Amino acid sequence: MPTHTNSNSRSRKSLMSSSMVLALQCSNRLRSDLDVVAGAGAAPNDRRATLALASHSVAFQHHCAITILVDNGLHGSAAALLRSMYEGCVNGLWLTYAADEHHLKKFEEDRYRPEPSKALRQLRSHDDGEYIETLERLHNQVMQPLNSYAHTGALQVVRHIGSDFIGPNFTEVEIEEFLELADAVLIASGLELPRLLGLQSEEGVQEAVLRYKSGRSGPHTSNPNS
């Protein structure tokens, strides 16, 4: 079975459409641009900001892994990481804006972690920014399927059953939606970099996001929220 699955993955990668190639290029470019922003700042010197930045860093790492997995045809593993990436971003925001000192200490000791829905409610009471609305919308729309992918539920399993093979059998539309979701979460984490790294300007992040949106506005891309 492993040999058959790997062969199928290589075949699907070699047949990647121009739309899929563009989506993957835009995802990688977005992360690369935000990495440049992250490299221009200084490490925070307080516990709250350090924990928050580390959580967003995990989201960045998962985004990188997702693009590598997609590029190599390992779409099930890419889908499984989406929930962890989303939680890395939400946890980072919660640590920055909503966690009190008691919960901050419990989180650091691995004795408390809020469910994403609860963290978002607490964040909403502190901030009504657009990125919170984006994360809330994503949570309402995709958390159930993300759970299925992450915990090897029915959605994950049935997408590994092909007509004549066992292996990743996602459509390109689904894969592009994975990437767009990962990119939306990455942007939410990226918007926190100036504050957490003590940068004087948000210009670098804004330019990265505008460049990404410009690249993704081509006629071959899909919209996961449509």
Average pLDDT across the chain, whole number: 88
4-7, long-range: CB within 8 Å, 24+ apart, which pairs?
4/165, 4/166, 4/167, 5/165, 5/166, 5/167, 5/168
Mean pLDDT check: name the lowest of 51-55, 131-135, 188-192, 213-217: 131-135
CA angle 148/150/152 to nearest 5° reads 60
Q: Give the C-alpha separation, 46 to 101, whole Å.
A: 13
pLDDT tops 60 at residue 5: no
User: Percent of the chain at pLDDT above 70?
Assistant: 88
Question: pLDDT tens digit string along 158-168?
Answer: 999 988 999 98
Residue 51 has pLDDT above 50, yes or no: yes
Q: State the pLDDT at residue 22.
A: 94
Residue with the bigger pLDDT between 5 and 82: it is 82
Say what the pLDDT of residue 90 is. Answer: 95
Using CA atoms, how far apart are residues 23 and 184, in angstroms rounded to an integer?
13
Q: 138-159: per-residue pLDDT in tens? A: 899 999 999 999 999 999 999 9
Q: What is the pLDDT of residue 138?
A: 86
Summarize the confidence of residues 172-176 as an average pLDDT.
95
- pLDDT at position 128 is 59
Give the residue ranges of DSSP H helices in the chain: 2-14, 18-39, 47-71, 75-97, 101-108, 116-126, 130-150, 154-158, 172-190, 193-197, 203-216
Please state the rounded mean pLDDT for residues 174-193: 95
Residue 123 half-sphere exposure toward CB, CA atoms < 13 A? 23
**Sequence letter at residue 210:** L
Please name which of 56, 21, 6 lies closest in space to residue 175, comparing C-alpha atoms: 21
What Å distances lie between residue 36 and 31, 86, 179, 187, CA to CA?
9, 22, 20, 14
Residue type, 81: L
